[in-house]
Structure 1
């Protein structure tokens, strides 16, 4: 399956949508992921506190040795993108995730937001 993790953007054709960290974790733990497309910022709770984000998901995947065949970072957050990208590359070098995972610091699809 192809998984698109984003709290606001429209889900591209050919992807399953996870709107939160917990939804993404559930899919990654039970499904074989071919393409994973990640946003960094995944919203705030009612008190304005940042919810677990794409970087938290990257760290979880690295800690658990989970994989997706290809990982794309579609976030508009430049610091978040760098943190996710560098963490994934470092995890590969250290053997925490498999060396054959393809990691891209750019999106695979155009980011779209219709507000629906």
Structure 2
């Protein structure tokens, strides 16, 4: 399953739309997510951002050996995009180092 987290953009064909981080996390818990594209700003920072999802994934990789899906960022927020891309790099590095994720 491909998951698209966004509050405004149209969902690409073949992707499942999520509006909030908790929705994405619930889908990730199923183990069926193969690809994830994240926006950062979702309209209510108290409910979380795309970065919130990345923090959860990073924790799961480190603590539970989760194999992360393919991750990408489509946010127009340039500073948040940089922070999110750095998090993706850290997640990918941790997944490569953790023998549980192989």
- Report the TM range for the smaller structure's normalisation: 0.7 to 0.9
Contact 1:4 1:36 in 2 (8 A): yes
Runs of at least 5 residues in structure 2 that lack an aligned partner in the other structure: 97-102
Residue-pair matches, total: 91
Runs of at least 5 residues in structure 1 that lack an aligned partner in the other structure: 100-116
Task: Report deviation, 1:59.
Answer: 0.6
Contact 2:71 2:88 in 1 (8 A): no
For the aligned residue pairs, the C-alpha RMSD in angstroms reads 1.4
Moved over 3 A (4+): none
Structure-1 separation of matches of 2:3 and 2:31: 10
Quote the residue 2:7 is aligned against.
7
- After superposition, residues 59-74 of structure 1 pair within 5 angstroms as 59-65=55-61, 66=66, 67-68=68-69, 70-74=70-74
Task: Report deviation, 1:43.
Answer: 1.3
Quote the residue 1:55 is aligned against.
51
Q: C-alpha deviations, 1:10-34, integer Å up to 9, x for none? A: 1110000011011111111114222
TM-score by length of 1: 0.71
Task: Report deviation, 1:89.
Answer: 0.9
